[in-house]
Amino acid sequence: MATRAANKRLTREYQTISKNPPPFIVAHPSESNILEWHYILTGPPDTPYHNGQYWGTLIFPADYPFAPPAIRMHTPSGRFSPSTRLCLSISDFHPKSYNPAWEVSTILIGLLSFMTSEEMTTGSVGATEAERKKFAARSRWWNSTGGGSWKADGKFQKGNIKAGDGGAKFRAEWLELEEENWKIMKEDRIDPYTGNAAPESGAATACAPGMGLTRPSGSQAIAETVREGGAVVVGEGSWLRRNKLLIAGVVIFIYVAIARMFGDGSGSELQ
């Protein structure tokens, strides 16, 4: 339970950050616990996180501002391990380096600055720029569906973000953003279970009756079937795989023919 000093300080800071939010940052305390704050960082331009929606929590100690909060980011980003306490000079990993004059806005500005750098610490992860851009593109889907754990009947494990809560915790804290996210997903035809865009109506989704086509991504090496001018061009190696029995038969036939030829010649000389 928050002390009177912590309650007064956090109430004032909420008023300040609501009136003058720092660029790319919004935050508020939970209605049920003023020591539990939820923030959204929007990925800045010219970074791999551009337009990403990164949701996380600040859990303040009862004696704040004389001790720092625990900092977590729940949304996968390619920068931090989801829902893991981050070791930063502004977090509870380093209480001795914390300055009581720092406010919630100071902490979140520092977090955003660290996120867009390449420094590593406890809770950091390594990823390529392309991977981070992919996480950014899927961030709204992840937040509002609990990473695909959303269920149409609403029967999910509430509040347990790591186990997959169907987006329940995000929905409870960010209702307006939740509605906006679902609107965007509907417009972009995003499957709430997979986060992938659904095919356009009438578009071909199979390369043969009963066979779905999954397009490879990244460095996945497979032979693709493509259509050119109505003719099917088969990827390298597929013809050999499909006709391996025929090839084996031809090889055996040639081998037997050669063996008989040399066998007949040897018999004539002995006679």
Per-residue burial over 220-238, b = 16 or more CB atoms within 10 Å of its CB, e = otherwise: eeeeeeeeeeeeeeeeeee
Write down the residue that tokens 């961030």 correspond to.
139
Of 45, 48, 47, 42, residue with least CA distance to 24:
42
157's tokens: 């494990």
pLDDT at residue 130 in the model: 97
Residue 79 CB contacts under 8 Å (≥ 6 apart), including other chains: 49, 73, 115, 124, 125, 127, 132
> pTM value?
0.73
pLDDT at residue 211 in the model: 30
Q: pLDDT tens digits, the chain, 271 residues: what are they?
A: 889 999 999 999 999 999 999 999 999 999 999 999 999 999 999 999 999 999 999 999 999 999 999 999 999 999 999 999 999 999 999 999 999 999 999 999 999 999 999 999 999 999 999 999 999 999 999 999 999 998 887 677 666 787 788 999 999 999 999 999 999 999 999 999 999 998 876 555 444 333 332 333 333 332 232 223 333 333 344 455 556 566 666 667 676 667 666 665 544 443 3
> Which positions are catalytic?
87
Domains observed in the chain: 1-198 (3.10.110.10), 218-271 (no CATH)
